[in-house]
Structure 1
Amino acid sequence: MDALQRPAVLIAAPASGQGKTSVAAGLARLWTRQGWRVRAFKCGPDFLDPQWLALATGQPVDNLDLWMNGETDVRARLWRAAQAADILLIEGVMGLYDGQPSAADLALAWDLPVLAVVSAASMAGTFGAIVHGLRHYRSGLRWVGALANRVAGEAHAAMLRAAVLGGGEAVTDEEAVARGWLGALPRTDVVALPERHLGLTQAAELSDSVARLDALADALAQTPLGRMSRAAWQRWSVRLTPPMPTPLEPVLAGRRIAVARDAAFSFIYPANVQTLQDLGAQVLWFSPLANEPLPDCDAVWLPGGYPELHAPALSAARITRDTLAAHVAAGRPLWAECGGMLALLEALTLADGTCVPMWGILPGRARMQPRLAALGMQAWSTPQGELRGHTFHYSALETSLTPVAHTVPPQGGRRAEAVYAHGSVHASYFHAWFASNPAAVGWLFRGGDGRCI
């Protein structure tokens, strides 16, 4: 199969909190409104930003990370998306050069052009220095330009523009873009997405999510960046080559896997669901928040999410609790990640000190904390090889269970996550990227073949 050429852009920043997601989602919404077929991705492990990108594009959003996915998986996802896209948009993670591997590493590996979003609050000429540093810190990086965010007004925008262009002379949009100035977004809540302790508020929780995206798109439409035509974007094309086919053995053929999905359990990579299906499983959905019974199934996945925001409702979900307990009593596998694990405990203490009884399927209690307890990539060495993923949580666990394994940070960090086994339940704060080792996933949802992990 021949290679493909598609316009693409990686939206990066000098740090977190600069407005990458707002710009990425707004730009995706603008292009989608104009009839472009847009496929978006998110660098690194993240469940919340992709929700906004998916809403903006109307398409599922996968994550790309050179360590968590591996180059083969990244190549395959970019290739598949390009089959039905006019343009590819990849939102970066943290700062452009932060992390190992970083968003810059991804950009260099696939020759992705970089667009920098820089919060210009309380600066003028220094904006130019930051943009210059981002562009030239590593050689070989393709550069689209810089977009100033949180700009105080026209006078402020003019100073920022001069810091990039080197003067105040009149230039056309095309000339400005060619020289790296993509425009300015105002300092207003209209062009910002709401946040809370784990990141952005989930898109599905807000009644005005689409209106927020439209406001972002409208603001971007007034910039040189937003006025670029589809033809103009062709200069930023990347060459994508087809991956080698890697058929999976259908080790879950005929098995039904029930997955919790609602506002409390929403940290679900679309790629994980696809991996289960590629392994032959039928995926069924149920909502603990709606107190739905567990569907007739062979295995269960309780993903992460926000059980702490819905603890009283989950506590009262007795039908869900009882059918899960019966599933476990029958010796059928259950894999619980992070928030899914919290729901299985005896109790959860909320940030305000309220102690809420949970489902009592696992011994132990958890307490929400005001500060982040753990964040970073992790690898779990299973009998079927290394399963990669990450950890990100604000709670601390107290349990009588002895861990049967620990994950390992790839960069030798001190924080590992325990993996617990209790009957047919396996649970951890670890969020797995299933595609990193489908054989391990098949083994896990078959119950480990009766062997201790």
Structure 2
Amino acid sequence: MDTAVSQPGPSGANGEPFAAAHACAAVLVAAPASGQGKTTVAAALARLHARQGRRVRVFKCGPDFLDPHWLALASGAPVHSLDLWMTGEADCRRRLHTAAGEADLLIVEGVMGLFDGSPSAADLAERFGLPVLAVIDAQAMAGTFGALAYGLQNFRPALPWAGVLANRVAGERHAGMLEAALREPAQWLGALPRGGDFSLPERHLGLVAAHELVDAMARLDAAADALAATPLGQRAIGALPQVRFEAPRAEPEARCPRLLEGRTIAVACDAAFAFIYPANLDVLAALGARAVFFSPLAGDALPACDAVWLPGGYPELHAKALSACAALREALAAHAGAGKPVWAECGGMMALFDQLQTADGAAYALWGLLPGRVTMHKRLAALGPQQLRLGGHVLRGHTFHYSNSETSLTPATFTARPDVEPAAGARAGEAFYLHGAVRASYFHAWFASSPEATAMLFGAAPIAFERNTPKDDAHAHA
């Protein structure tokens, strides 16, 4: 692996040298749209090199809880998010620089289509010089494949480019037609077949998580085997694009305030509550908290704790089992009744309502800490980046759900889109409920964006708002 230059680099304002840059093989796996096979290719590339003994680090561009399960299994290392808005450029730069100093290969999986969103995967690629490996679902095209590849490569002249790989290809003849359609034959990185035993199953929020499938590793190995037969898979690590990652500027280290020192936070973690960013757990530890995990689906009792975190996930798929958790329901009610905080995030909030109705019309009594009901729909109810202001601090994050809630509760405030000033009480996004010791919202928070607001969610200080919030229209907030 190539590493940093040895000559002295520039120095900061205090005269100390910046950390050295690191270089390693790196690509950003992107596509013209969602559903083209980005995760399959990124995971296959990671698995192919990891099982050959190379050190592989993978990142996911944008908010995502599901793809990282597959990417972590494939690479054997934790997968963190990179997002120029939610996590911030400085965080992205630090993570990429650190990973490049430890890895032989660095892979970033894009989000949606290459140029979709603001910021987009293309923005990230340009900002950090990541060559784009474009994955195109070619099952229903021939010559148009060349036009699409050319457009992706040249839509932004400054975009670094690695090449194009065709996915879901019918056979050798089809692959030959696709390769011949390219204006630059050197851009051809091969084709993966249609079907096969390496497809990654999906459901309404995205891919089925890897830990839910007993044959997850077998699927990854099959994908890696298929990729090994392509020009991309046959390239030596040194023949892959090499990228130099500059170090973050040598500024004084910002220490996370120990606002949760000595506190224990019980975190629900199982197939119903699996949407947890590893970086969020890191922030809780930096705040001084100790996380203990429990599984409602396994019948675990609520651990002794100072606060509870109910993350997002799939309560709708496990509503019958969650409805039967009588002992946990009583323990949570006693916990909240004693004034101990509960932060319930998206699926975690859904489990706290009186009732959940699934998309097929079945209704289940749930845990009853919040009055009202949640109804699942077959269409997306909300999607996109959001921010939440608490006590003068702003938490960044996002929303993504197929349900809506109906409740008599008046929201304490609302989240806002990135292009809206996050003023308390401005109805621009998701409702944030404050019901006794329960804090709940469809909003998924990125804790590192404001450790102070995060600590407030878990009881380090009373939830505070900057001005009075509106008291009307308290029903049916999606």
TM-score (norm 2): 0.90
Matched, 1:159 2:177: yes
1:434 to 443, 447, 450: 447
In structure 2, the residue corresponding to 1:253 is in which secondary structure? coil
In 2, Cα distance between the equivalents of 1:384 and 1:438? Answer: 12
Counterparts of residues 257-268 of structure 1 (less than 5 Å): 257-268=265-276
Q: Which residue of structure 2 aligns with residue 81 of structure 1?
A: 99
Matched, 1:186 2:182: no
In structure 1, the residue corresponding to 2:313 is in which secondary structure? coil
Give 2:434's aligned amino acid: A
Per-residue CA distance 1:227-254 (angstroms, 9 max, x = gap): 1101212x42232313543221111111
Give 2:236's aligned amino acid: S
Q: Which residue of structure 1 aligns with residue 280 of structure 2?
A: 272
Give 2:246's aligned amino acid: L
In 2, Cα distance between the equivalents of 1:451 and 1:159? Answer: 62
Q: Which residue of structure 2 aligns with residue 49 of structure 1?
A: 67
Give 1:416's aligned amino acid: G
Matched, 1:449 2:449: no
> Are the aligned partners of 2:296 and 2:322 in contact in 1 as well (CA < 8 Å)?
yes
In 2, Cα distance between the equivalents of 1:82 and 1:246? Answer: 22
Matched, 1:31 2:49: yes
Give 1:101's aligned amino acid: P
Task: State the 1:412 CA deviation.
Answer: 5.1
Per-residue CA distance 1:198-235 (angstroms, 9 max, x = gap): 100111111100000001000000000001101212x4
Q: Please say which of residues 251-260 and 237-246 is displaced more in the overlay.
A: 237-246
Task: State the 1:352 CA deviation.
Answer: 1.1
Counterparts of residues 16-165 of structure 1 (less than 5 Å): 16-164=34-182
Give 1:216's aligned amino acid: A
Matched, 1:241 2:259: no
Per-residue CA distance 1:382-432 (angstroms, 9 max, x = gap): 114110000000011000100001000114599610000000100000000
Q: Which residue of structure 1 aligns with residue 212 of structure 2?
A: 205
Q: 1:87 to 1:103 in 2, by over 3 A?
A: same
Task: State the 1:297 CA deviation.
Answer: 0.8
Task: State the 1:191 CA deviation.
Answer: 3.5
Q: Which residue of structure 2 aligns with residue 11 of structure 1?
A: 29
Per-residue CA distance 1:142-171 (angstroms, 9 max, x = gap): 1100000011111110011111256xxxxx
Matched, 1:318 2:326: yes
Give 2:157's aligned amino acid: S
Give 2:155's aligned amino acid: Y
In 2, Cα distance between the equivalents of 1:405 and 1:200? Answer: 32
In 2, Cα distance between the equivalents of 1:165 and 1:29? Answer: 30
In structure 2, the residue corresponding to 1:291 is in which secondary structure? coil
In structure 1, the residue corresponding to 2:87 is in which secondary structure? coil
Per-residue CA distance 1:10-55 (angstroms, 9 max, x = gap): 0000011100001011111111011111111101111000110011
Q: Which residue of structure 1 aligns with residue 417 of structure 2?
A: 409
In 1, Cα distance between the equivalents of 2:132 and 2:76? Answer: 23
Structure 1 unaligned segments of length 5 or more: list them.
Answer: 167-175
Matched, 1:292 2:300: yes
> Are the aligned partners of 1:258 and 1:300 in contact in 2 as well (CA < 8 Å)?
yes
In 2, Cα distance between the equivalents of 1:388 and 1:242? Answer: 22
In 1, Cα distance between the equivalents of 2:198 and 2:365? Answer: 40
> Are the aligned partners of 1:424 and 1:447 in contact in 2 as well (CA < 8 Å)?
no
Q: Which residue of structure 1 aligns with residue 357 of structure 2?
A: 349
Task: State the 1:82 CA deviation.
Answer: 2.5
Q: Spell out structure 1 runs of 4+ moving beyond 4 A.
A: 412-415, 450-453
Task: State the 1:284 CA deviation.
Answer: 0.6
Q: Which residue of structure 2 aligns with residue 253 of structure 1?
A: 261
> Are the aligned partners of 1:305 and 1:339 in contact in 2 as well (CA < 8 Å)?
yes
In 2, Cα distance between the equivalents of 1:239 and 1:349? Answer: 49
TM-score (norm 1): 0.95
Task: State the 1:450 CA deviation.
Answer: 5.9
Q: 1:75 to 1:409 in 2, by over 3 A?
A: same
In 2, Cα distance between the equivalents of 1:158 and 1:346? Answer: 58
In 1, Cα distance between the equivalents of 2:464 and 2:145? Answer: 58
> Are the aligned partners of 2:150 and 2:183 in contact in 1 as well (CA < 8 Å)?
no
Task: State the 1:452 CA deviation.
Answer: 6.2
Counterparts of residues 385-396 of structure 1 (less than 5 Å): 385-396=393-404
In 1, Cα distance between the equivalents of 2:115 and 2:306? Answer: 44
Query: What do you get for the CA RMSD once the two structures are aligned?
Result: 1.5
Q: 1:91 to 1:60 in 2, by over 3 A?
A: same
The size of the alignment, in residue pairs, is 441
Give 1:347's aligned amino acid: Q
Task: State the 1:73 CA deviation.
Answer: 1.3
In 2, Cα distance between the equivalents of 1:415 and 1:157? Answer: 48
In structure 1, the residue corresponding to 2:190 is in which secondary structure? strand
Q: Percent identity?
A: 60
In 1, Cα distance between the equivalents of 2:462 and 2:182? Answer: 61
Q: Which residue of structure 2 aligns with residue 172 of structure 1?
A: none
Q: Which residue of structure 2 aligns with residue 220 of structure 1?
A: 227
2:311 to 300, 303, 313: 303
> Are the aligned partners of 1:6 and 1:88 in contact in 2 as well (CA < 8 Å)?
yes
Q: Which residue of structure 1 aligns with residue 435 of structure 2?
A: 422
In 2, Cα distance between the equivalents of 1:139 and 1:252? Answer: 48
Per-residue CA distance 1:117-151 (angstroms, 9 max, x = gap): 00111111110110111001012111100000011
Task: State the 1:322 CA deviation.
Answer: 1.5
